[in-house]
Chains A and B, each alone.
Chain A
């Protein structure tokens, strides 16, 4: 399996704070890689470096490498990069326009499509996200009038509509009921046939249910929680509790790479 994204010694800092330091990890194609970690540990910042959304904040200084298909993300045209690496935000942020226009916004940026092509894309994307049934009779409804959970699924549909190769989802199920949640989890499992999924979640059970590998981020660093001694270190007091939950639930095989001594992967299912 090839790695679609590789992160090498990534650091992100502001003048006042080191947000990420020395992060290295790799994300194999057609898998679900999950990033867990306490609030403020830098999960959102980490995935925002993948599509260079961090460029929007000049005060964030990024060093180290993020490779996409083996080439630094710096070398890509940023518009193309972001089409290929989609992001579903932590806070639902639909555009204040109709449901249809929300989903059609992305495709229209990149191509001039006919009305029926657009209809197809919008319908397919909404179906994927499990929202189609609820909105199909009223595609002109303002997205701001949808419920929080519907907005979240709309944002997933919007991200899918530009046909990305990687779909990053930052807590996509935080405001969903259990049924909608399990539908999104099924979606992720379905998507990994054709896409690569990067998931950020606080829901450890969810991480255990869907992930092929789980990365633990703690204070801006990747914790090699598979190594027996690491978690005994006093600075990982809080992380230990995280991992205990992780390891109790997953009957998984593990792999630890000592290249740079930097990262650890837990793989479920087939070992790479």
Chain B
């Protein structure tokens, strides 16, 4: 045997020696994974199951078509109001988020991008009750909107911006540089590259961001308490007209003494959780191609 061949043989032995331990640690990783999966499944089933059992026991078709005041009536005003608020929030957060993300991914310098990202991250971590207070002082009082769709929606919108901006930033960044180069080499300008290439290519990511931010916004309570208050009927105006929403029904009705109020709360929880569930499934389904 030559010297190098014997070395090779030694190395082979060395590398095979620990293999049983490695088989075990390989298994261990999977066991830990399954444990966590089990825990999460249990938690989720418990929460969703609880809401489902309580909700299904109380909900009726009539609740979807009648307005209510948190102790009597239905949920129709709260369901419509939730969508109105979220829609108003999107009106603000969608353009700001989508173009902010574009700016972060494509045009910001290391410095300006860093500053903007920091601001956005700080915004995410501001407690929603503080945002609500801000909305109350600035929008409701100072700008004289009153408790309203505009005040509540804009406050929600501020909260939605970071999600849309950061997720869409990631979707733009995932588009390979060669794709941009190809467009520039054909004579495209920055606007054309942004609108005809990046925005189109990132649409799945943007859609996911929108659905995620809707489902988060729909579950907010604290900031709406100060800006939208509650309305026993539908809201049709933009300002000086409070808005109903589902989380308020849950929060308020549970504190009421009557069993019907509790039934309203459970039903509102079920409607909310199943809508959010549906939105998240939808976003997974849309994102499935990628």
Contacts and interface: CB of A to CB of B under 8 A. Distances in A.
Given A105-B196, A109-B192, A96 B179 contact: yes
Interface residues of A, number: 26
Contacts of A110: 187
Interface stretch (A77-85, A189-197, A205-213, A247-255): A77-85
Interface in B179-199: 179-189, 192, 196-197
Contacts, number: 59
Nearest to B189: A79
A233 interface: no
A86 interface: yes
B179 A89 contact: no
Q: Is the interface of B mostly helix, strand, loop or mixed?
A: helix
Given A91-B178, A96-B179, A53 B184 contact: yes
Contact of A83 (B181, B183, B186, B200): B186
Interface string A63-92: 000000000000000011111001101010
Given A105-B196, A109-B192, A93 B186 contact: no
A162 B186 contact: yes
B155 to A, nearest CB: 38
A95 interface: yes
Given A56-B181, A93-B178, A82 B187 contact: yes
A93 B192 contact: no
A79 B187 contact: yes
Interface residues of B, number: 18
B289 to A, nearest CB: 10
A130 interface: no
B197 A162 contact: no
Contact of B182 (A79, A81, A93, A108): A93
20 contacts: A51-B185, A53-B184, A56-B184, A79-B187, A81-B187, A82-B184, A82-B186, A86-B186, A87-B185, A89-B182, A91-B178, A93-B178, A93-B179, A94-B182, A95-B182, A105-B183, A109-B196, A155-B182, A159-B186, A162-B186
